[in-house]
Structure 1
Amino acid sequence: MFVRELHLSDFRSWRSADLELTTGPTIFTGRNGFGKTNILEALYYLATLRSHRVSADAPLVHSGATSALVTATVENSGRELTAQLRVNAEGANKASINGGPPRRAREILGILRTVLFAPEDLALVRGEPGERRRFLDELVAQRGPLLVAARSDYDRVLRQRSALLKTAAAALRRGGDQAASVISTLDVWDQQLADLGGQVTAARLRILAELTPHFVDSYASIAPHSRPVTLHYKAAAGTDVIGPGAATTPAEIGTVLLERLAQLRDREIERGMSLVGPHRDDLDIVLGSDTAKGFASHGESWSLALALRLGSVALTRAEGIEPVIMLDDVFAELDAARRRMLAAFTADTEQLLITAAVAEEIPAEIGGRRVGVDVIDDADGRRSVIVGSAAHNEAVPVSSVPVSPVSVSPVPEVPTSEVDAEGTP
């Protein structure tokens, strides 16, 4: 699988960009803040309907514009599809496939499969539970739109149920018809939340079971002398009732969630929030006998984060799909040994897209094309532009002098955001 063409309009710092890409490595170089990462972010958004940097759509739209347009033509085993997504600063996003509009934007999911490595990946180990939930949900999302629909519907029900909980206590104190209405409405929301929560959690458990052996193998190759690792799903409803050896199917998990919602109703009304469900779950990354967060060293944390991404690549390859691998300025964060390991792992990748502020940080064994990225800041505003391309070891012209954008044709030698309705617990 590879992206043959990418067109951007009003996406972040890019007023306009037309890129012709091919298989093999392409390295975008330029100073920090010039817009290199925005190219990878646009592709990642197309693949997952999420940004890896922000949780809302408005920052993705160029200042002064009302929407951004991302269009990519993807080739996969001789089949070519063009996916287009209009990202609106306000309101629902719109998508098209080969020029025809699908019923929902999420139907473009699966056309492009990517794995993105970024400096933010350290938060997968050291960050809050929401980061790890997002990681699992993005893996699920790339399996197709049906699984994403359950999460979207779950978030909608969660918001409505949470809004009711915030007013429930006062209504119950007043008693009478208002109290009866609150209870009956909560019963309805509880059933829907449990049903949809069962689907979301079951999908996460399935993807985690498939990912874990790849993660274990990847970590062993990165840190062969370290302690053994594994992954455990940590359900807010209780790991003794949800997970391997307990409830794993949507129906089984839904039954458990409905029971827990009934048990916790008084506490939820008191606190005005939903206390159980996949929006409160976590992924435990276990190093030896300890949870990595709080125990892993800096080097171990980077190795674990890298192993999660390498495991994601292996997981996608196990489906018979070669994902587009994107490395967003990660070589600056890795020591020499990990740089060499990552270069060796991606050597046979069908398409490898890399950003780097310092080209010398890229391992010498990675060839490909260097594509320069600069910015123009004039009366029309600040915007990113492509300023040149060169084969490996040739100079790339990067200048602060205003230039016109040009199409770049590398040669063969060489992705609707969703936010947790109640935030992170």
Structure 2
Amino acid sequence: MRVVRLSLRNFRSYPSAEVELGAGLTVITGRNGAGKTNLLDALYFGCTGRSARTTNDRELVRFGEKVTRVEVTTEADDGRHELSVGFEAGEPKRLMADGVRVERLLDVAGRPLVSVFLPDRLELVKGTPSLRRAHVDQVVAALWPARTATRRAYAQALAQRNALLTRVRAGHASQASLPAWDRELARHGIGLMADRAAAIDAVAGRFPAIAADLGLDGEPAVAYRPRSKASDPDGLAAELAERLPSDLERGFTQHGPHRDDLALTRERRELRAYGSQGQQRLALLALLLAEREAIAATRDAVPVMLLDDVMSELDRERRGRLVELLRSVGQSVVTTTDIEHVPGGEGNDVTRLRVEDGVVIADGAAEAA
């Protein structure tokens, strides 16, 4: 599945735009501040129903306007599909798939998978474990969509146990029902840990070679770091029971898969603490590419890669290797200030777009105004 067309109205800096994307590599050029990143965000928004840059949808509406709308046309073996997202401040977001309103685009079968690299995403490496846990769960969902039910079931059981802890701590409930919730939480927790471990195993074998190709030396590695040592529900339930006094004192569950982490390392040291920003960027890029390969090997689907300003900190050799990886399979959209920063970017098989102050220009012809 690939994205054929992107249409947007009143999205960030764009009054309107109509963009045709290539089946392979699409390169978007323009000066800093011209709107290249906004175009990538619009594509992500149209495919997922959320922004890659902000959690506040009001920031997506062009200044002075009230409503924004993004439409994405995709193409697959069974034909073309239409996805759309509309947002107006104070109103529920309107998500549509082939003309039918849906609750979540993420559940739509005719939706392309999307992987995005933005400079802001370095927080995935440098930030809190919760960001990395959420990312691992997204990889699980991309690899095995049906397994998302395990994470939801764990979250519901965790909320119930925490609510009971709060009532017991306040003297409004007895501890007698806590063992039952420990077993319920442990049952879903072991399943969640197994899913996360399997996902990272699928990525970990691919990560070192890709990272090295991009210039990250020192034995780069990625590993799943579960908080629990348990291998079965009884073991995890026992760990929860051991920590009950502390949980009652704090009023919430302090142990379990909701405290897991993902480690990106170089020379056996975590890049979060010991890596330079350049090394962290390379590790993040390698992680996304390794995940793309794992998903392509597991499913009949290759995520669309959206890469913003990724070439600026790579030398020509590494840029060339990255372009080779991007062109080897699937569809990719890359932004740059200079087409020469993308080796082979001037080839006939590359779709080229230029952005100038809210206007997208393809092959010298204005496509939006």
TM range (shorter): 0.7 to 0.9
Count of equivalent residues: 365
> Does the 8 Å contact 2:2/2:74 carry over to 1?
yes
State the identity %.
31
The CA deviation at 1:145 is 4.5
**1:145/1:261 Cα in 2 relative to 1: closer, same or farther (>3 Å)?**
same
In the alignment, structure 1 residue 100 sits paired with structure 2 residue 100: yes
1:371 to 330, 333, 353: 353
In the alignment, structure 1 residue 208 sits paired with structure 2 residue 200: yes
Which residue in the other structure is 1:231 paired with? 222
**1:284/1:371 Cα in 2 relative to 1: closer, same or farther (>3 Å)?**
same
**1:129/1:48 Cα in 2 relative to 1: closer, same or farther (>3 Å)?**
farther
The CA deviation at 1:187 is 5.2
The CA deviation at 1:2 is 1.8
> Superposed, which structure 2 residues align to 1:268-283 within 5 Å?
268-283=247-262
The CA deviation at 1:106 is 3.4
Question: In structure 1, how many angstroms separate the alpha carbons of the residues matched to 2:50 and 2:236?
Answer: 27
Q: Name the SS of the counterpart of 1:331 in structure 2.
A: coil
Question: In structure 1, how many angstroms separate the alpha carbons of the residues matched to 2:69 and 2:180?
Answer: 39
In the alignment, structure 1 residue 28 sits paired with structure 2 residue 39: no
Residues 255-312 of structure 1: per-residue CA shift (max 9 Å, x gap): 4433332222221222233312332110122323333332334443333222212212
Q: Name the SS of the counterpart of 1:366 in structure 2.
A: coil
**1:217/1:149 Cα in 2 relative to 1: closer, same or farther (>3 Å)?**
same
Residues 166-185 of structure 1: per-residue CA shift (max 9 Å, x gap): 5542x23xxxxx232xx366
> Does the 8 Å contact 1:94/1:104 carry over to 2?
no
Which residue in the other structure is 1:133 paired with? 133
> Does the 8 Å contact 1:313/1:323 carry over to 2?
yes
Deviates more, 1:198-207 or 1:55-64: 55-64
1:222 to 214, 226, 229: 214
Q: Name the SS of the counterpart of 2:100 in structure 1.
A: coil
Letter in 2 for 1:388: I
Which residue in the other structure is 1:286 paired with? 265
> Superposed, which structure 2 residues align to 1:7-406 within 5 Å?
7-47=7-47, 51-55=51-55, 57-62=57-62, 68-77=68-77, 79-86=79-86, 93-102=93-102, 104-108=104-108, 111-143=111-143, 145-159=145-159, 161-162=161-162, 165-166=165-166, 168-169=168-169, 171-172=170-171, 178-180=172-174, 183=175, 186=178, 189-223=181-215, 226-238=217-229, 241=230, 247=231, 252=232, 254-319=233-298, 320-356=300-336, 358-360=337-339, 362-367=341-346, 368-375=350-357, 385-390=358-363, 405-406=368-369
Letter in 1 for 2:355: V
**1:390/1:196 Cα in 2 relative to 1: closer, same or farther (>3 Å)?**
same
**1:321/1:232 Cα in 2 relative to 1: closer, same or farther (>3 Å)?**
same
> Does the 8 Å contact 1:12/1:62 carry over to 2?
yes
> Does the 8 Å contact 1:48/1:142 carry over to 2?
no
Question: In structure 1, how many angstroms separate the alpha carbons of the residues matched to 2:68 and 2:158?
Answer: 29
- Which runs of 5 or more residues in structure 2 are unaligned? none
- Which runs of 5 or more residues in structure 1 are unaligned? 173-177, 242-246, 376-384, 398-403, 407-425
Residues 373-392 of structure 1: per-residue CA shift (max 9 Å, x gap): 344xxxxxxxxx3242226x
Question: In structure 2, how many angstroms separate the alpha carbons of the residues matched to 1:51 and 1:387?
Answer: 20
Q: Name the SS of the counterpart of 2:123 in structure 1.
A: helix
Q: Name the SS of the counterpart of 1:405 in structure 2.
A: coil
Question: In structure 2, how many angstroms separate the alpha carbons of the residues matched to 1:150 and 1:69?
Answer: 33
Question: In structure 2, how many angstroms separate the alpha carbons of the residues matched to 1:186 and 1:93?
Answer: 39
Question: In structure 2, how many angstroms separate the alpha carbons of the residues matched to 1:323 and 1:47?
Answer: 11
**1:149/1:291 Cα in 2 relative to 1: closer, same or farther (>3 Å)?**
same
> Does the 8 Å contact 1:108/1:145 carry over to 2?
no
The CA deviation at 1:208 is 0.9
Residues 63-89 of structure 1: per-residue CA shift (max 9 Å, x gap): 677765433221134633223344576
Q: Name the SS of the counterpart of 1:294 in structure 2.
A: helix
> Does the 8 Å contact 1:129/1:283 carry over to 2?
yes
Q: Name the SS of the counterpart of 2:207 in structure 1.
A: helix
Residues 30-69 of structure 1: per-residue CA shift (max 9 Å, x gap): 3444432233223334555554333455544556777654
Q: Name the SS of the counterpart of 2:301 in structure 1.
A: coil
Which residue in the other structure is 1:422 paired with? none
Question: In structure 2, how many angstroms separate the alpha carbons of the residues matched to 1:110 and 1:315?
Answer: 20
Residues 204-260 of structure 1: per-residue CA shift (max 9 Å, x gap): 212111111111221233348x3323322111223xx3xxxxx3xxxx3x4443333
Question: In structure 1, how many angstroms separate the alpha carbons of the residues matched to 2:355 and 2:50?
Answer: 24
Question: In structure 2, how many angstroms separate the alpha carbons of the residues matched to 1:64 and 1:168?
Answer: 51
> Does the 8 Å contact 1:47/1:110 carry over to 2?
no
Root mean square deviation of aligned Cα: 3.4
